[in-house]
Amino acid sequence: MLEKLFGIISAVAEEAAPAAAGAAEAGGEAAAEPNTFLALLTSMLPMLLIFVVFYFMLIRPQRKKDKKIKEMLDNIKVGDRICTIGGIYGTVSGLREDTVNLMVGTENMPIVIARWAIRSVEEVTVENEGDIIV
């Protein structure tokens, strides 16, 4: 594909060369403009293509992921079962702007965590086992 594109650019440059030669005889510096522009375009094209690839491979998917996480954090409600980034499972007992109150463990121990520290909202409830085998 790049060979085809560079072939088109070189064909345009070849067609512009005879016209530029005639203008050089008449005007002097006017002949340098089309070749300079095409050279600039040819040198900037790889950088532009790299930016486009980075946008579609890295930036766009990350924005989608961030939007999905923000939506999940905004939709948390009292009674939801969540998992924190530290691996703590708990049930939401209260919400504030930046913090979430959780009830954790078999004795429903209350803890407060930052809202950004929530990894996921669990669909299936995870019950703590009363007997721990070591």
| CA 89 – CA 82 distance, rounded (Å) | 6
Facing residues of 89 across strands? 83
Q: What is the pTM of this model?
A: 0.58
| CA 111 – CA 92 distance, rounded (Å) | 10
**Residues 79-115 as b or e (16 or more Cβ within 10 Å = b):** eebbebeeeebbbbeeeeeeebbbebeeeeeeeebee
| Same-domain status, 42 and 99 | no
| Same-domain status, 57 and 86 | no
Print the domain residue range for 14: 2-73
| Same-domain status, 13 and 33 | yes
- Give me the tens of pLDDT residue by residue for the chain, a chain 134 residues long: 556 655 666 666 666 556 555 555 555 555 556 688 888 888 899 999 999 999 999 999 999 999 999 999 999 999 999 999 999 999 999 999 999 999 999 899 999 999 999 999 998 765 655 545 44
How many helices (H) and strands (E) would you count in the chain? 3, 5
Confirm whether 16 is domain-assigned.
Answer: yes
Query: The tokens of 25 are what?
Result: 């005889």
| Same-domain status, 12 and 56 | yes
